[in-house]
Amino acid sequence: MNFKDSVVIVTGAGNGIGRGVALGYANEGAKVVVADIDREAAEATLNLINSTYGDGLFIETDVRDPKQITHLMDETIRIYGKINILINNAGVSRFKSVYELSVEEWDDVLNINLRGNFLCAREAAKYIRRNDSGGAIVNIASTRAFMSEKDSEAYAATKGGIYALTHALAMSLQDDHILVNSISPGWIETGDYSSLRNIDHKQHPSKRVGKPEDVARACLFLTNPMNDFITGENLIVDGGMTRKMIYEH
């Protein structure tokens, strides 16, 4: 129960990786704030937290809206009195031909994945710095910050942006004792894991596709006060895929 007295905000915690991260902290005794635009999904996560582990809260939040982000932080303070950890996980991947991607679509992906990430970090840091022991922020990037498939310009740009934003924030927030790191997941299966094919698993040096719990454990590691010598860093959690040479022999 390393996080028993911690208040943790997880954006995008209604589904997939965010839900896994929220449950990971709840399992360690934290009070978890589920922040998501999807009410139904978020309430399902909240039910899991409250029926299994104890203490959670849902605050409906669209990370595109600066006012809703301020409300998220203020409400968390009103109810729990402090913020120790922020996991910036909310994100969308909309792939479209480079020739067809409109300005509106580009802006929307940037506003959710990158601007939302910055605004949540800025607003959470205003409270995290009040703690004697500071706290930590983890931004969820992607291995697509470093490698690409076709038609992923907006998404890739946000994830590269998160990589750079992370080390900039780590420098700016150092005197407030706030650690800032990112995690770059590879293929994390958020659907039916049992439907994956043998080849899906075998192509990974780890010999399996990732799960939300893999990212959750990385978050727990990076936000554990015992690991406070790590800041401004990016941790790749991809079963070795970005280390694999793909020349065919």
Ligand X SMILES: NC(=O)c1ccc[n+]([C@@H]2O[C@H](COP(=O)([O-])OP(=O)(O)OC[C@H]3O[C@@H](n4cnc5c(N)ncnc54)[C@H](O)[C@@H]3O)[C@@H](O)[C@H]2O)c1
Residues that bind ligand X (CB under 6 A): 11-12, 14-18, 36-38, 41, 61-64, 89-93, 112, 140, 142, 185, 187-188, 190
- How many Å apart are CA 121 and CA 88, to the nearest integer? 8
Q: Is 247 a catalytic residue?
A: no
Q: Letter for the amino acid at 241?
A: M
The nearer residue to ligand X, 46 or 134, going by C-beta atoms, is 46
The nearer residue to ligand X, 49 or 63, going by C-beta atoms, is 63
Kindly name the residue from 25, 80, 127, 155 that is annotated as catalytic.
155
- How many Å apart are CA 54 and CA 72, to the nearest integer? 20
Least distance from ligand X to the Cβ atom of residue 34, Å = 9
The nearer residue to ligand X, 84 or 88, going by C-beta atoms, is 88
Q: Are 234 and 186 in contact (CB under 8 A)?
A: no
Q: Is 140 left (phi over 0), alpha (psi -120 to 50) or beta?
A: beta
Least distance from ligand X to the Cβ atom of residue 217, Å = 15
Least distance from ligand X to the Cβ atom of residue 209, Å = 9
The nearer residue to ligand X, 9 or 83, going by C-beta atoms, is 9
Least distance from ligand X to the Cβ atom of residue 92, Å = 5
- How many Å apart are CA 30 and CA 4, to the nearest integer? 5
Least distance from ligand X to the Cβ atom of residue 32, Å = 14
- How many Å apart are CA 19 and CA 190, to the nearest integer? 10
The nearer residue to ligand X, 14 or 24, going by C-beta atoms, is 14
- How many Å apart are CA 143 and CA 54, to the nearest integer? 34
Q: Are 49 and 100 in contact (CB under 8 A)?
A: no
- How many Å apart are CA 198 and CA 13, to the nearest integer? 29
The nearer residue to ligand X, 134 or 215, going by C-beta atoms, is 215
Least distance from ligand X to the Cβ atom of residue 226, Å = 25
Active site residues: 155
